[in-house]
């Protein structure tokens, strides 16, 4: 009789469960959509093991002379690539190729990285960088993340205002931060205005030979050139750069270079300059083709701008350039189109140092001055063309609309951002999504390591209202960075066999030591887990020389296997190189110390890595 | 008319077998894949009738730790002439298709069985040679072993998997095709 109770209650429970689970479809669909867009901050930056970041971040390493590679959005540090400073971790500056590239310099100040471009978009082939410390420029191959060439730039001192490449990587321009006399000769600072110049170099890169070359130089006035950008699309033949110290002060620049209400943006047509050089409109000085603007007229113009500007950035559509006032403090939007028109009509307000000054009012679109936003330095863009400007003094990022000047959003950062970088944010097609503030002051952000602090990079989600969602410490010092979509970079894992390389030894029985007078050439092999220097010797892993011999060790890693790197170091000889899988690397030195010196593999390679050793024996002179 | 002559269909089937035998030359016959924690993607030794492919150098580099001899084409002289034998076998198969004689077909099937048996014996011999002839001075000492012709085996941190390649399947298919005329043209 009571059997109906469990049956009925069971049915009822079933209906209730079914109703809860399946009823009201519209509502549950909404919930699903909502949940996918409301990922927590932790979920947004979490890249689980087995998955990889969407973007690479290439951050300048400042006075470390290195480049830091991070993943975005995880903000994980993946690699440090040495560029202008030696690095024993990779043998950079020790092996022959990199030693020659570095010359006698033991440090560099890597400021502004720039990707090679095709049609104004990153092509993922090369990364260029400049050294403000010792006036150099470098080209890094993105197949191997190694530096292929470094060029010393004469007549110039500190290419801070670089690197920036034209939209098909025809040229990389290196304007200087410090004015010096031509040839860096001695000249009295009393003759600064007459004898000093702010030389800009137009550098080409031969992608077949991996070679940087100076095409021509321009002897600009002795001002400081700060930042720059190349035009895009309709302004592709043009480039812009900011100046300060148009006062031509020679001491206490803090005060003396901050007096004039207006400095300049230099606007130049690089195609016209190329043509002028082709037509012989240049002087040959110190072996360079030098354009002197007061003498070789054309192609270069000045645009007055609020005082001591820092960044100047071209909008993704190539129609405008935006100067950040630093001390003004405001952002000024200029029109390329109006500038071209003014040049056409010779709508000039006089000239400075023989260079025409374009009428400010004719080409200025708007001055943008968000309330209490102080120290605007540098602007990046998102996929909708909105501008993001770093405010150094008020420690924030301000999002604004270049078309209206309207402030759209602001977010504080910790603290004092110099540059910021958005995902492909200086190309013709920025990705939006992410912006990273490159902060100069980390202060209380991380566990203390004493008085010397790291800098800080903060990841900002810009897909909606700006929000700082991750913060990463970084070694000094990220001046500028570039973010590239990960799938644009195609690396190799193993160096291919090069049968034409006479220094390479791929077969074990061909490992040999050849003596030629007091030169000793070792054609050796590094493999898991031994060195073979002389296949026929009683002890194939021993190199024996006489004191004073010049020793060349050409070492080939014959493990053509991913991530099997070998190192090679000789104890007490201050030497260490790496050979990547398949690579042949040469180290050259004089055996000036007699004695017995163990040698060993420095890069852990296998279970028997510890056994991968040998001896370097140097017989003393009688 | 000779009653013993094979039918035209049978002749075509045998021709197809000849084509498959030739085709097998262009595909791997046998393959061993090595998996280890460090090599989740697997390392391959791929055996063609005339060459070895795959990550042979890497496998050799690792095998030296247990004192195994190097795999190389020099160590397998069979690779120098095997493809000629295969072409010969294909020619004989084609000849059988043209002659359409049952006796010849029997002979051919016999040849296939002998050839296949020799092949299996040769490969087993090679596996035994490499697995049991380990250098006594190897840094890592393991017991001699014989990897199976087909299937899994575990040695140290490596799991090997031996599988037949397309070429072997083509040969097996060719052999089956040769059996069809026996049934089809059976004396009623």
Does A231 have pLDDT greater than 90? yes
Task: Compare all CA atoms of chain A with the CA of B61 and give the residue at the minimum distance.
Answer: A528
Q: List the single residue in A559, A607, A611 with the smallest CB-CB distance to B61.
A: A559
Task: Compare all CA atoms of chain B with the CA of A564 and give the residue at the minimum distance.
Answer: B58
Residue A329 confidence (pLDDT): 85
Closest by CA position to A400, among listed A379, A416, A425, A419: A379
Q: Which two tokens stand for residue A20?
A: 């809860």
Are the C-beta atoms of A280 and A273 separated by less than 8 Å? Answer: no
Does B161 have pLDDT greater than 60? yes
Q: Which two tokens stand for residue A31?
A: 């919930």
Tens digit of pLDDT for each residue in B26-36? 999 999 999 99
Report which of residues A329 and A384 the model is more confident about.
A384
CA–CA distance from B77 to each of A120, A526, B114, B118 (Å)?
A: 57, 30, 19, 15
Strands of the sheet containing A595-600, edge to edge, are: A542-546, A613-619, A595-600, A566-570, A575-579
8 Å CB contact of B58 and A527: no
Tens digit of pLDDT for each residue in A189-210? 999 999 999 999 999 999 999 9
Q: Which two tokens stand for residue A611?
A: 């056994």
Number of neighbouring beta carbons within 10 Å of residue A6 = 9
ipTM of the complex: 0.84
User: What is the rounded average pLDDT for all residues in chain A?
Assistant: 93
Contacts of A158 (CB under 8 A, 6+ apart): A132, A133, A135, A176, A177, A178
Q: Which two tokens stand for residue B13?
A: 């089937």
Closest by CA position to A475, among listed A459, A452, A443: A452
8 Å CB contact of B61 and A608: no
Residue A479 confidence (pLDDT): 94
- Find the helix or strand (DSSP H, E) in which B92 lies: helix B78-99
- CB contacts of B57 in chain A (<8 Å) are 558, 560
* Percent of chain B with pLDDT strictly greater than 90: 78
| pTM, 2 dp | 0.89
How far is B187 from B180, CA to CA, in rounded Å? Answer: 14
Residue A436 confidence (pLDDT): 98
- CB contacts of B65 in chain A (<8 Å) are 528, 607-608
Task: Compare all CA atoms of chain A with the CA of B138 and give the residue at the minimum distance.
Answer: A608
Closest by CA position to A476, among listed A26, A48, A47, A65: A65
**Shortest Cα distance, chain B CAs vs residue A529, angstroms:** 9
Does B135 have pLDDT greater than 90? yes
Tens digit of pLDDT for each residue in A115-161? 999 999 999 999 999 999 999 999 999 999 999 999 999 999 999 98
- CB contacts of A532 in chain B (<8 Å) are none
Please report which confidence band the pLDDT of residue A93 belongs to, taking 50, 70 and 90 as the band edges: very high
DSSP state of A508: G
- CA angle A7/A9/A10 to nearest 5° reads 65
Does B2 have pLDDT greater than 70? no
**Shortest Cα distance, chain A CAs vs residue B159, angstroms:** 18
Binning chain A into helix, strand and coil, the percentages to the nearest 5 are 15, 40, 45
How far is A220 from A239, CA to CA, in rounded Å? Answer: 14
Tens digit of pLDDT for each residue in A338-348? 999 999 999 99
Q: Which two tokens stand for residue A343?
A: 């040049």
- CB contacts of B60 in chain A (<8 Å) are none
- Please count the helices (runs of H) and the strands (runs of E) in chain B: 5, 5
Tens digit of pLDDT for each residue in A591-612? 999 999 999 999 999 999 999 9
**Shortest Cα distance, chain B CAs vs residue A96, angstroms:** 28
Residue A17 confidence (pLDDT): 52
Closest by CA position to A163, among listed A180, A182, A181, A140: A140
Q: Note if the bond before A529 is cis, omega within 30 degrees.
A: yes
CA–CA distance from B41 to each of A117, A563, A605 (Å)?
A: 34, 14, 19
* Percent of chain B with pLDDT strictly greater than 70: 97
How far is B59 from B158, CA to CA, in rounded Å? Answer: 11
- CA angle B111/B113/B117 to nearest 5° reads 115
**Shortest Cα distance, chain B CAs vs residue A603, angstroms:** 17
- CB contacts of A561 in chain B (<8 Å) are 55, 58, 61
- CB contacts of A559 in chain B (<8 Å) are 58, 61
**Shortest Cα distance, chain A CAs vs residue B41, angstroms:** 11
Closest by CA position to A102, among listed A153, A136, A145, A128: A136
Closest by CA position to B72, among listed B86, B88, B53: B53
8 Å CB contact of A560 and B62: no
Q: List the single residue in A561, A608, A611 with the smallest CB-CB distance to B58.
A: A561
How far is A509 from A533, CA to CA, in rounded Å? Answer: 10
DSSP secondary structure, A10-56, as one string: HHHHHHHHHHHHHS-HHHHHHHHHHHHH---HHHHH---TT---SEE
Q: From start to end of A424-540, where are the E strands?
A: 432-439, 455-461, 467-474, 481-485, 512-516, 519-527, 530-532
Task: Compare all CA atoms of chain A with the CA of B43 and give the residue at the minimum distance.
Answer: A561
Residue B155 confidence (pLDDT): 87
Contacts of A58 (CB under 8 A, 6+ apart): A67, A68, A69, A113, A115, A127, A481, A482, A483, A484
Alpha carbon B106 to its chain centroid, in Å, reads 22
- Find the helix or strand (DSSP H, E) in which A405 lies: none
DSSP state of B159: E
Q: List the single residue in A560, A607, A611 with the smallest CB-CB distance to B57.
A: A560
- CB contacts of A527 in chain B (<8 Å) are 61
Does A310 have pLDDT greater than 80? yes
Q: How many CB pairs under 8 A join A and B?
A: 16
Are the C-beta atoms of A540 and A520 separated by less than 8 Å? Answer: no
8 Å CB contact of A560 and B58: yes
Tens digit of pLDDT for each residue in A405-438? 999 999 999 999 999 999 999 999 999 999 999 9
Task: Compare all CA atoms of chain A with the CA of B64 and give the residue at the minimum distance.
Answer: A528
Q: List the single residue in A527, A559, A608 with the smallest CB-CB distance to B139.
A: A608
- CB contacts of B55 in chain A (<8 Å) are 561
How far is A456 from A447, CA to CA, in rounded Å? Answer: 12
Task: Compare all CA atoms of chain B with the CA of A527 and give the residue at the minimum distance.
Answer: B61
8 Å CB contact of A528 and B62: yes
Tens digit of pLDDT for each residue in B40-77? 999 999 999 999 999 999 999 999 999 999 999 888 98
- CB contacts of A607 in chain B (<8 Å) are 65
- Which of A50, A509, A561, A604 to mutate to test binding with chain B, by most B CBs within 10 Å of its CB? A561
Report which of residues A412 and A20 the model is more confident about.
A412
Handedness of CA A268, A274, A276, A277 (dihedral sign): positive
Please report which confidence band the pLDDT of residue A19 belongs to, taking 50, 70 and 90 as the band edges: low
Q: List the single residue in B55, B61, B139 with the smallest CB-CB distance to A527.
A: B61
DSSP state of A392: T
Tens digit of pLDDT for each residue in B82-100? 999 999 999 999 999 999 9
Q: Which two tokens stand for residue A324?
A: 């950040």
SS3 A58: strand
Which backbone phi and psi does B179 adopt, to 5 degrees? -80, -25
**Shortest Cα distance, chain B CAs vs residue A481, angstroms:** 34
SS (H, E, C) B144-155: CCCCCCCEEEEE
Residue A9 confidence (pLDDT): 59
**Shortest Cα distance, chain B CAs vs residue A596, angstroms:** 26
Residues of B with CB under 8 A from a CB of A: 55, 57-58, 61-62, 65, 139
- Which of B43, B61, B65, B66 to mutate to test binding with chain A, by most A CBs within 10 Å of its CB? B61
Among A98-112, A198-212, A585-599, B2-16, the range scoring the smallest mean pLDDT is B2-16
8 Å CB contact of B61 and A528: yes
Rounded average pLDDT over B131-153: 92
8 Å CB contact of A528 and B58: no
Residues of A with CB under 8 A from a CB of B: 527-528, 558-561, 607-608, 611
**Shortest Cα distance, chain A CAs vs residue B155, angstroms:** 16
Residue A272 confidence (pLDDT): 97
SS3 B139: coil
**Shortest Cα distance, chain A CAs vs residue B53, angstroms:** 14
* Percent of chain A with pLDDT strictly greater than 70: 94
- Which of B39, B40, B58 to mutate to test binding with chain A, by most A CBs within 10 Å of its CB? B58
Does A388 have pLDDT greater than 70? yes
């Amino acid at each position: 009789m009571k059997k109906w109770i469990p049956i009925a209650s069971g049915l009822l429970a079933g209906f209730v469960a079914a109703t809860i689970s399946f009823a009201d479809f519209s509502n549950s669909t909404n919930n699903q959509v909502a949940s996918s867009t409301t990922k927590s901050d932790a979920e947004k930056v979490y890249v689980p093991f087995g998955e990889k970041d969407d973007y690479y971040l290439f951050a300048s390493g400042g006075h470390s002379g290195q480049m830091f590679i991070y993943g975005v959005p995880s903000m994980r540090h993946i690699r440090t690539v040495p560029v202008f400073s030696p690095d024993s971790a990779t043998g950079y500056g020790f092996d022959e190729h990199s030693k020659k590239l570095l010359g006698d310099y033991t440090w560099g100040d890597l400021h502004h990285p720039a990707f090679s471009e095709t049609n104004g978009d990153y092509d993922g082939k090369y990364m260029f960088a400049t050294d403000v410390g010792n006036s150099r420029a470098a080209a890094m191959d993105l197949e191997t993340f190694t530096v292929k060439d470094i060029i010393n730039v004469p007549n110039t001192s500190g290419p801070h205002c670089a690197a920036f490449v034209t939209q098909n990587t025809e040229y990389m321009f290196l304007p200087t931060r410090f004015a010096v006399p031509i040839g860096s000769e001695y000249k009295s600072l009393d003759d600064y205005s007459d004898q000093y110049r702010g030389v800009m170099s137009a550098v080409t890169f031969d992608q077949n030979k991996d070679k940087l070359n100076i095409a021509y130089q321009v002897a600009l006035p002795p001002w400081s050139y700060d930042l720059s950008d190349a035009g895009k699309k309709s302004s592709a033949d043009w480039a812009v750069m900011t100046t300060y110290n148009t006062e031509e002060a020679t001491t206490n620049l803090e005060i003396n270079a901050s007096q004039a209400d207006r400095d300049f943006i230099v606007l130049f047509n690089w195609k016209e300059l190329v043509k002028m050089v082709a037509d012989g409109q240049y002087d040959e000085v110190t072996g360079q083709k030098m354009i002197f603007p007061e003498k070789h007229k054309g192609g270069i113009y000045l645009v007055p701008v609020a005082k001591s500007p820092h960044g100047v950035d071209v909008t993704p559509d190539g129609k405008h350039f935006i100067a950040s006032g630093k001390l003004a403090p405001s952002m000024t939007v200029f029109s390329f189109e109006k500038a071209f028109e003014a040049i056409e009509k010779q709508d000039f307000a006089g000239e400075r140092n023989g260079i025409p000054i374009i009428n400010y009012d004719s080409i200025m679109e708007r001055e943008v001055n968000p309330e209490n936003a102080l120290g605007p330095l540098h602007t990046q863009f998102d996929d909708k063309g909105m501008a993001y400007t770093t405010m150094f003094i008020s420690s924030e990022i301000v999002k604004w609309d270049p078309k209206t000047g309207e402030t759209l959003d602001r977010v504080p950062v910790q603290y004092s951002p110099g540059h910021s970088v958005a995902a492909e944010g200086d190309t013709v097609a920025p990705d939006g999504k992410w912006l990273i503030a490159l902060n100069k002051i980390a202060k209380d952000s991380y566990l203390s390591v004493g008085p010397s602090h790291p800098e800080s990079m903060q990841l900002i989600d810009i897909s909606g209202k700006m929000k700082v969602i991750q913060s990463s410490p970084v070694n000094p010092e990220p001046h500028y960075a570039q973010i590239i979509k990960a799938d644009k970079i195609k690396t190799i894992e193993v160096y291919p066999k090069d049968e034409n390389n006479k220094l390479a030894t791929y077969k074990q029985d061909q490992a040999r030591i050849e003596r030629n007078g007091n030169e000793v050439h070792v054609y050796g092999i590094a493999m898991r887990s031994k060195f073979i220097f002389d296949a026929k010797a009683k002890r194939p892993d021993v190199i024996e020389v006489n004191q004073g011999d010049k020793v060349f060790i050409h070492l080939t890693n014959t493990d053509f296997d991913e991530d099997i790197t070998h190192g090679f170091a000789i104890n007490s000889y201050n030497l260490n190189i790496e050979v990547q899988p398949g690579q042949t690397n040469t180290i050259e030195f004089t055996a000036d110390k007699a004695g017995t010196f163990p040698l060993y593999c420095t890069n852990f390679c296998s279970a028997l890595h510890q056994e991968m050793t040998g001896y370097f024996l140097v017989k003393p002179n009688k | 008319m000779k009653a013993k002559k094979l039918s035209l269909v049978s002749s075509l089937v045998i021709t197809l077998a000849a084509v498959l035998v030739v085709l097998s030359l262009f595909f791997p016959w046998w393959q061993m894949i090595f998996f280890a924690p460090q090599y989740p993607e697997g390392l391959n030794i791929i055996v063609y009738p005339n060459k070895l492919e795959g990550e042979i150098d890497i496998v050799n580099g690792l095998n030296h730790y247990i004192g195994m001899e190097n795999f190389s084409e020099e160590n397998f002289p069979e690779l120098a002439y095997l493809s000629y034998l295969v072409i010969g076998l294909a020619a004989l198969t084609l000849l059988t298709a043209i002659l359409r004689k049952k006796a010849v077909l029997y002979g051919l099937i016999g040849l296939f069985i002998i050839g296949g048996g020799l092949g299996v014996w040769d490969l087993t011999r090679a596996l035994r040679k490499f697995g049991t002839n380990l250098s006594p001075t190897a840094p890592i000492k393991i017991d001699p072993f014989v990897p199976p012709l087909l299937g899994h085996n575990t040695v140290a941190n490596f799991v090997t998997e031996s599988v037949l390649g397309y070429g072997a399947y083509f040969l097996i298919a060719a052999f089956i095709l040769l059996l069809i005329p026996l049934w089809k043209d059976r004396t009623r």
